[in-house]
Amino acid sequence: MNARRILAILAVLLVCLPIAFIVTILLSPLWSWIEASYGIESIGHSGPSDWCFYAVYSVLNALVFAFIRVYLRLGNAKAI
């Protein structure tokens, strides 16, 4: 893996942090529903639990990296 690819990966991970934070807060009704329905501690007086942020951050990163992979694969297919 070259340095350019590592920097690109780090950039994606850093850009996804504030987006995941905002989306986690916006999903507060979902976390409340999960807590009420399944009894899993997901929201408290200070906002969603840490695991909620980690779940959103993981899904967001997976989606972004999948999109990039598909985009690059389609771009390379058109060039051939």
- Locate the domains of the chain by residue range: 3-79
For 49, the token pair is 């639990």
pLDDT band at 77 (very low <50, low <70, confident <90, very high): low
pLDDT tens across 14-46, in order? 999 999 999 999 999 999 999 999 999 999 898
Which pLDDT score, from 0 to 100, does residue 72 have?
86
Q: How far is CA 58 from the centre of its chain?
A: 4
Tokens of 53: 């942020």
**CA atoms of 20 and 14, how far apart (whole Å):** 10
pLDDT tens-digit series, residues 38-65: 999 999 898 999 999 999 999 999 999 9
Residue 60 · residue 19 · CB < 8 Å = yes
